[in-house]
Amino acid sequence: MKIIGLQLALPAAVLAIVFAGTGRTAERGVVSSKDIEAKIQYCKTCHGLSGQGFRGAYPMPRLAGQQTEYLENQLRAFIERRRTNPVMFNVAHVLSPSTVNALATYFKDLNPKPLGGAPRERAAAGKKIYEEGVSGAEVPPCASCHGPQAKGEGPFPRLAGQLHDYIVKKLMNWDKERGQDPAKPDTSAIMEPIAHGLTEPQIAAVAAYLSYLE
């Protein structure tokens, strides 16, 4: 896939952020189009040319179509060490607020096809859990926060098209990565009892279902 220049690739909202403070970048923290383009291309080395995610030594999550508020929150969580990931610590700590907003806005507007690859025979069971929850385990329907089409809303992330192996890994290790600063609780606290309430087969089923949604 050919990577086109930033001024053609970025939506108007991002360009507005980038160019709003031309000549005043140092005092207001607004970054140049060149710097934003460099950061975007850096993100794509792990997350895919269209932000679709990537499977290498570890599954790299899909960023395409992700809720802007959620992406901004997660980047700040890495910066503030509230979410654990050694790679993202190094990536995020150099990002200014303007850069965080520009990156989140850019990836929100991408819409590649899901990578898929999950066992399709698990998707039906996953769909039932997503829509109905697990009453015996006090697990509410995933759709109640993430929406009927799993597109997310505001601080609640889009799950549609997310790599199934990434979802499994995150849910199985939720309390080891999220909410690492009790003094600064965030929306990740909502998911902790839910992640613990799901069995590994149930998590795999939900992940399989979500991975094929567009």
- Range 158-195 burial, b when 16+ CB lie within 10 A, else e: bbbbbbbbbbbbbbeebeeebbeeeeeebbbeebeebb
Q: What is the pLDDT of residue 8?
A: 32
Q: What is the pLDDT of residue 17?
A: 35
**Domains of the chain (ranges, CATH numbers):** 9-108 (1.10.760.10), 120-211 (1.10.760.10)
**C-alpha angle 173/149/177, rounded to 5°?**
15
Q: What is the pLDDT of residue 29?
A: 59
Q: How many CB atoms lie within 10 A of CB 118?
A: 23
Q: What is the pLDDT of residue 19?
A: 31
110: nearest Cα among 11, 211, 200, 212: 11
Q: What is the pLDDT of residue 31?
A: 77
Kindly give the pairing relationship between strand 54-55 and strand 59-60. antiparallel
Q: What is the pLDDT of residue 143?
A: 98
- Range 123-141 burial, b when 16+ CB lie within 10 A, else e: bebbbbbbeebbeeeebee
Mean pLDDT per 10-residue segment, the chain (214 residues): 36 36 42 92 96 94 98 96 94 94 97 96 98 95 98 97 98 93 88 96 98 98
User: Does the model's pTM come out above 0.75?
Assistant: yes
